[in-house]
Structure formats: structure tokens, C-alpha cells
Structure 1
Amino acid sequence: MARILILLAVVLGVFWWLRARAEARLAEHRARQAREASEHAAAGMPDAAAERMVQCAQCGVHLPQGDAIAWRGLHYCRRSHLPDESRTESSDGSESGSGSSGPRP
């Protein structure tokens, strides 16, 4: 019976030691990340993972600039939110509608 208790104590001790070691590594990793972030901020460099957010001109939703569709200085979240003139120009290269002036090419 004493052997089982000693074996159990040894196993629990190993688990405790491994857990403490993992927590120390995690704390060290977080401290390193915080130190690097403060160095980047001090140097005036933006975070590599950060991307500028823009607002859809139609519905107002915010999305990363890389995912947005830019059209005439405005940003849109999807093609269906583009003004009608942009969708017709991009699809067949001509304007449609009754209000256009001048001959069509």
C-alpha cells in the first residue's frame, strides 16, 4: 500500500512540475510579446497584424480595407451595395439608363 502512495506522489509531483514549467514558458512568451509591441510602438511602426478599417458607404458596416471594394473614393462591403452605374459599367463597359447624355461608343 505504501508503494502505491509513493508512486502516486511521484506522478503528482511530475505533473505539478510540468504544469509550473508550462506556465513559466507562457509568462515568458507573453512578456516577450509585450516587450516587442512596446518597441514597435516606440519606433512608430504599426502592428503588422493591424489593418485599417473602412465603412461601407451603403450599409455602414465596418470591414478591413483589404476586403472592401473601393469605388470613386468610397468603400463598399459587397458588389450589390455599389451604385447602379458602377455595376453596369464594370459588367459590360457601357452606361445604361435614360438620363445619359451624348452618343454611346
Structure 2
Amino acid sequence: MLKWILLALGLGFAYWWFVVKKKRDQEKSAEPKVAPPPLKAKRMVSCSYCDLHLPEEDAIAWDGRYYCCVDHRDSLSQKGWWGKAQWRASPNFDERPTQIEPDLVVIHHISLPPGQFARGHIIDFFQNKLDPRAHPYFEQIVQQKVSSHFLIDRDGQLVQLVS
């Protein structure tokens, strides 16, 4: 007899548990579900050294370029550009022979106009953008097509013009 009473109590408890569970599930489904906020797309950039694509916020920005790590920013790329230099491409260069590896850097001393140290004239000269009206000396040199691989300006900033 005790078995039957315990069985009836167990079945009653199971029935009560399922009813309460069903009621809770219905209440949960009746609540308006709040959608998670939409994910914002991250701007992707490419490492100037290895072309790896990564989120802009994870990249190292340098002079309008991006790098995936400090080692790549501080290295010479396969294309011949040094990451730590400001890049100001000059059209005045020839193709380098494929068998020859560069092993020397020549540093020149130049001021334009001679003896004056105004900003920008040297880069303009190396990029064929020199204004001949800015100084009488510029009229003599404006037709020359010259450049340097690197330029160290008066503030110590390194500018690369040719790779």
C-alpha cells in the first residue's frame, strides 16, 4: 500500500513539475526578445610590407600607411621601400639591373636655392614640381631630371623618393 501512495505522490509531483515548467516556458516566449546589437564592420587595411589584411585598429599607422608589426615597419620591403621613411615618389629613376644588389648609401648635402634652407624645394625638385618663379636660380635647374633615394631634411626626418 505504501508503494502505491509513494507512486501516486511521485506521479503527482512529476505532473506538477511539467505544468510549472510549461508555464515558465510560455512566459519566457511571451517576453519580447531583444536582438543583439548588429556588429559593426571594421575597416580593413593592408600591411605595406607583406600585404596582410587586418583591422585598422590593430594595425600600426605610419605616414598614411599601415603595418601589421613593428618589424615590418622598420624593414625594407621587397619593393625597396623603407617603412620608417616618408614616401614621396619621384619619377626620375631607371630600372636597376636584376643581378646587382645595392650595398651602399650615398649621402649628399644640398640646399635650394644654394645657401638657403627653405622647406619643400628639394622634394619639389626631385619630383619635377619645382616652381621656376619661386627663385631666379630655379629657372636654371627646373629642366633637370634628378632625384635621390633618400633625403634627410633639416629636422632629421627621412624621406624616400626612389625605391
**For this structure pair, what is the TM-score category when the shorter chain's length is used for normalisation?**
0.5 to 0.7
Q: Does 1:59 align with 2:50?
A: yes
In the TM superposition, 1:1-105 aligns within 5 A as: 1-25=7-31, 28-30=33-35, 33=36, 49-84=40-75, 85-86=82-83, 98-102=104-108
Q: Percent identity, please.
A: 27
Aligned-pair CA distance for 1:65: 1.1
User: Which fold has the larger relative contact order, with Cα–Cα distance below 8 Å and residues 6 or more apart in sequence?
Assistant: 2
Distance 2:52 2:25 in 1: 44
Distance 2:68 2:9 in 1: 68
State the TM-score, normalizing by the size of structure 1: 0.54
Is the contact made by 1:79 and 1:87 (CA closer than 8 Å) also made in structure 2? no
- Bigger helix fraction: 1
Q: Which residue of 2 aligns with 1:93?
A: none
What stretches of structure 1 of length at least 5 have no aligned partner? 38-46, 89-96
**SS at structure 1 position matched to 2:48:** coil
Is the contact made by 2:54 and 2:68 (CA closer than 8 Å) also made in structure 1? yes
What stretches of structure 2 of length at least 5 have no aligned partner? 1-6, 76-81, 86-102, 110-151, 157-163
State the TM-score, normalizing by the size of structure 2: 0.38
Distance 1:60 1:16 in 2: 56
Aligned-pair CA distance for 1:63: 1.8
Label 1:72 to 1:20 Cα distance change in 2 as closer, same or farther (>3 A). same
Larger radius of gyration: 2
Aligned-pair CA distance for 1:24: 4.4
Aligned residue pairs, count: 82
Distance 2:14 2:67 in 1: 63
